[in-house]
Structure 1
Amino acid sequence: MFQLIIFFSKSLLRHPRARSDLSEMTGDSHFQRYLPELHPESLVPPEQIRRHILCTGQVYYTLLQEREEKGIEDVAISRIEQLSPFPYDLITPHLDKYPNADLLWCQEEPLNNGGW
């Protein structure tokens, strides 16, 4: 048996937004391949969103923090938690929610690394 070793920062170890309730891991729960923007009340209506950012991993929390600190109200942020196979079936219907938004991909890694 081999041990899995993953190297990344511990910034999310005790982050309050990176926690799950026990109920989210029991019963009929399943892995969520795509986590769409929850569209909090602080954002403008979906038709007025000008950018929709797709990202994966801990960069989501950095983007979320920046959006809140700068008071940005017209940018939606969604997370892709499984890159392969790519969850087209989950993402495509959600993209129609923001008809006027530019779609962007954000990653921490250089262009030749990461999900891009």
Structure 2
Amino acid sequence: MKLSQKTKISTPKLVEVQAWYQHVFGMVVVEEWDHDGDKGVILAFADGHNEALLEIYDTDVVHDFSGLSLQYKVEPLDDFIKTLPDDIEPEDLKDRPWGARYLYLRDPLGIQVIVYEGCW
């Protein structure tokens, strides 16, 4: 059995959010649709592994994402930090008590995006 995960974000800022994830993580479009008011895109990491997909769905409804955190593991974190575009400002970089290092970012919707190394 193979498992994967797809996270869906519904937002009126589809284009802006899609551009941010492609800009920061180099994600690529694996599926895109715009048919009779049903519009969205599915992004994946460019390495071809589609175990974690991000769907961004166009809607007029504004959601409160204040409690949502998307977390991506990377090894080593310092190499990822070197690839960050100049216009992306991290909120913080912390060594966590359980042995992980966390880099905190915010996407255009205010979703906390954590890129970390160590542990799970």
TM-score w.r.t. structure 2 length?
A: 0.24
Larger radius of gyration: 1
TM-score w.r.t. structure 1 length?
A: 0.24
Select the structure that is richer in helix: 1
- Between the two structures, name the one with larger relative contact order (CA 8 Å, sep ≥ 6): 1
Select the structure that is richer in strand: 2
